[in-house]
Amino acid sequence: MKKILTLLSFSLVSVALFAQQENAVLKIDAEKLHARVREWPYPANGIIVPTVEPALLWPGTNGKNMVLPMESGSEVKEDPNIGNVVYKVMLARDKDFKKDLISSAEQRWTVYPVHQALKPGTWFWKYGYKLKGGKQWSWSQVYDFQVAATAGNAALKVSPPVAEVLKRNEGPHPRLWNMNKIGEDFYQNNLQNPEAKKFIVFAEKLMLAPLPEEKPQRIIDTTGKTKLEKKIIVERMYHGFGDAVGNPVRNLCIAYQLTKDERFIKDAKRRALNIARMNPNGLATGDDFTSGAVLEALGWFYDAGYQFLSAEEKKELRDMITLRARKVYNHLPNRFELHVSDNHVWQITLRNLAIATVAVINEVPESKEWMTYMYEVWSARFPVLGTTDGGWHEGNGYFRVNFKSIVYLSQLFGDFTGVDYFKLPWMHNLPYFMLYTYPPHSSSTSTGDMWENIPYMVKGQAWFAEALTFKMDNPYLNWYVAEIKREKPEYFRGTDDFLLFRLLNYKPNRKLSTLSPSRLPKTRNFADVGVAAMHEDLGQEDKSLSTYLMSSPFGSSGHGHAAQNAFTLNYKGKTIFGGSGYYSNFSDQHNLLYYRTSRAYNTILADSIGQKLGEEGYGWIPRTISGTNIQYALGDASNAYGEIKSEFWLDRFKQIKLTPSKSNGHGDPGVTLYRRHMLQLEGGYVVLYDELEAKNPVKWTTQFHVPYDKIVAETTTDPHQQNFGVITDLAEVKASVFANEPLNMVIHDQFSAAAVNWNKVTNDEGKIKDFVNQWHAGITSKPMQKFRFLTIIQVKNGEAQMIKIIKADQGLYHLKIGDWDIQAQLDGTKAPALQVSEGNGKSLFNYGKLPILFQGKAYQPKMTGSSFLLEKDANGKLNQQEVSDQLPDVLKYDRKF
């Protein structure tokens, strides 16, 4: 095996990571923070792991080379040799692997959760591989890590080994949801459950529906479309077919378990046998989504209706479950677990396979391997697009596609392990991610694929939040759900996909305490996914101002976008400034040249070139401050620009015969520094201060997009200042952009690549979306190597304030707007500086070396380059905060120098 060299390294300027910093600024020098497939081992380099039962992860091999990226929906062919390798792991307290040795059995996958509490101290580990049937093991170097005596989550039970999990699956049918143990309690507990009674009425009607036929869900004309477009349209025509034919089987099984009425299970049998005879390779049930849904439905009935099947029928269902399960499983080991997030599997098919596996685990011998694999990957990797902060990298639009799997796989694995996965640190913080980034009466962060489908609260978000209340005792989450129910009671009157979860966890006399999030900090940083959320009043976001700064360590992987250091501004629950464009397909022309690129976001272009697609185009949120009158966040996108290196994305361009060239917004403009300071000020003001540098002079463009309103230019007599307004019925919205050099502004309502709904994409209500044009403003400098923008946005119920220029001397601008004084150094050749103070002397923010005088007293920051806040509360108490750059978890734990 060729030596696998890590691509991850970073240097720190004038700083010791775990000692007191003298310089507050950290510089990361790494090609990527999250690799598309794992390229370096974890844990290594003596890091202190955050748990007593870490999972060991390492790069995969095909026997000669490292496993390369390949995933669902990609035209990049799967490596034919990934299934020919087996691995082994050794873990011990000494380098000679003799003290407290833990040694794994042979396995086909590249994760090893230890499933026991490791003793505090230093541990050493290595992994080996060999070809199947071979005798010679090739071993990695020895890696080390430390377990702290205080590590771990006291509320979380250590997960049991696989053998114990398999043993718990050995009971009789029905095994799913522990029904062979809790079935009678489930029946008795729900006898008087009003929701169960309504569902039984619904199930009665289900039995009247005719048996489904293998035909499209919708008809879409393919005339004149390319070969790739026709393929995508055909998939779209059958999209949802698996759920349409599979969900009735599941629902009838649940109705039987609620009532013991055999009419329900016999009709489920009729439907299950019908879909079992559908072509597993046909258009209707052949792709991963539709086949997975059928697989799950067959597993449901095989388990719940086992006693109602003849020997021949059992074999028929078992054979079809095995065939469809193999289609999923055979492409997983040594590939899926390596991937940063193979979305289709995590979103849906892993759940489908897990349910079907439990159903046949005692009758299909190979299913024990399927269960072992899924449990090990779940234990090692969940949550895949976050770590502990509760966030989801791809944004709320596609987060919701994962909701069912998050809930039901947590329940399923919890049933067989005794572990309450709803007590994971990530789960603990999840309600806050929902509160801050998708408040109940407001639009969301407006980023990532399909964000435009959730301009306001939607049913899926509401159901998911309610489901979580059955497992979490969080008064803010309870408030969140109560507010949605108050405003959208119609969301909770029907049958939805989380019904079973509520029935399983139903408590007749459940009382939920609530707390308004108005008492929570106004600002919260979800650093692992790169979202800083700032709220004027989190409990009344439909009447106030909310802003977001995005900069993700994941880059623009998966359904994420090249939106590092982009901001979103919501007012009275609606988006004023946000992302733009439309999601019609993962990679059509509009998508690759506009929608998922920096061109579609309120961030910076250099020579009209945006950030690179892929994990390499990353950013991060080094700092936030939550104050009373001042909220603050700092984003760093210095590593986000350059040529696209991801083979996955280059292949997507190739599929539609495009080249990611500078003429269409892709390439390397040579950006070396982009740090954006963002402040939300009491009174309806937002301030942006951008520090920009490149290897050579470039034209810098700061962008503004309004997806629902119109931008109009306003006159200015100063070429160093450009002004525009937003025509909206929400408020008076004005923006002014300042620089030390002349600026040029262009306002238009066109996309750089036209938005055409050729795939007949629908909104959440099932209506075909109209891709209308949107308004954009770009404000551009002349070519400069070092540059600064200062932007002031005001959102006022009344008349907007005039910005007064008190002084502009040697690049240092002194401005006044309303009660606020703003000083900013806009000469890029001079040290950066930004100071914002309130005229009544209650608040002051400082970054840089400007003198700090607050209420007659001079202050000096402890660290060079820190961000510093001083505020006096209503009782006269001083709130003093000084913050420096803080690393996200991926750099604290999963790194190689």
Q: Over the stretch 186-219, which tens digit does the pLDDT of each residue have?
A: 999 999 999 999 999 999 999 999 999 888 888 8
Q: Which pLDDT value is given to residue 73?
A: 58
Q: Do domains 47-147 and 162-518 have the same CATH topology?
A: no
Q: Which pLDDT value is given to residue 219?
A: 87
Q: Which pLDDT value is given to residue 72?
A: 62
Q: Which pLDDT value is given to residue 12?
A: 32
Q: Which pLDDT value is given to residue 74?
A: 64
Percent of the chain with pLDDT over 70: 97
Q: Which pLDDT value is given to residue 896?
A: 59
Token digits of residue 546:
């909310």
The partner residues of 128 in beta bridges, in order of sequence, read 88, 139
Q: Which pLDDT value is given to residue 507?
A: 94
pLDDT category at 888 given cuts 50, 70, 90 is very high
Q: Is the pLDDT of residue 478 over 50?
A: yes
pLDDT category at 874 given cuts 50, 70, 90 is confident
Cα→Cα distances 345→50, 162, 292, 404, 571, Å: 27, 21, 10, 13, 37
Structural contact between residues 870 and 886, judged by C-beta atoms closer than 8 angstroms = no
Predicted TM-score (pTM) of the model is 0.94
Question: Cβ of 68: how many Cβ atoms within 10 Å?
Answer: 18
Question: Cβ of 43: how many Cβ atoms within 10 Å?
Answer: 23
More confident residue, 594 or 77: 594
Q: What are the sequence ranges of the domains in the chain?
A: 47-147, 162-518, 543-558+571-595+630-636+651-893
Cα→Cα distances 51→111, 118, 153, Å: 16, 9, 7
Tell me the C-alpha distance between 473 and 893, whole Å.
29
| Domain 47-147, second-level architecture | Sandwich (2.60)
Query: How do residues 1-22 score in pLDDT, each as one tens digit?
Result: 333 323 333 333 323 333 344 7
Query: How do residues 99-150 score in pLDDT, each as one tens digit?
Result: 999 999 999 999 999 999 999 999 999 999 999 888 899 999 999 999 998 8
Tell me the C-alpha distance between 551 and 549, whole Å.
7
pLDDT category at 776 given cuts 50, 70, 90 is very high
Query: How do residues 256-291 score in pLDDT, each as one tens digit?
Result: 999 999 999 999 999 999 999 999 988 888 888 899
Tell me the C-alpha distance between 541 and 522, whole Å.
11
Tell me the C-alpha distance between 456 and 541, whole Å.
12
Q: Which pLDDT value is given to residue 8?
A: 32
Q: Which pLDDT value is given to residue 71?
A: 67
Token digits of residue 478:
């309870």
Which of the following CATH numbers is that of domain 162-518: 1.10.260.40, 2.30.29.30, 1.10.8.420, 1.50.10.100? 1.50.10.100
769 exposure class (CB count in 10 Å sphere: 0-12, 13-18, 19+): middle
Q: Which pLDDT value is given to residue 848?
A: 97
Q: Which pLDDT value is given to residue 150?
A: 82
Tell me the C-alpha distance between 175 and 553, whole Å.
40
Please give the average per-residue pLDDT across 468-481, as a whole number.
Answer: 97
- Which residues have a Cβ under 8 Å from the Cβ of 380 and sit 6 or more positions away? 55, 57, 111, 112, 113, 337
Angle at 332 between CA 326 and CA 337, to 5 degrees: 155
Average pLDDT, whole number, for the chain?
A: 93
Per DSSP, which regions of 657-731 are E strands?
671-681, 685-698, 700-706, 710-714, 721-727
Query: How do residues 370-406 score in pLDDT, each as one tens digit?
Result: 999 999 999 999 999 999 999 999 999 999 999 999 9
Tell me the C-alpha distance between 689 and 848, whole Å.
12
Q: Which pLDDT value is given to residue 732?
A: 97
| H helical segments located in 619-726 | 647-655
More confident residue, 224 or 884: 884
Q: Which pLDDT value is given to residue 286?
A: 83
Q: Which of 558, 554, 493 is nearest to 526 (CA)?
A: 554
Q: Which pLDDT value is given to residue 416?
A: 94
DSSP structure string for 231-272: HHHHHHHHTTHHHHHHHHHHHHHHHHHHH--HHHHHHHHHHH
Tell me the C-alpha distance between 334 and 96, whole Å.
28
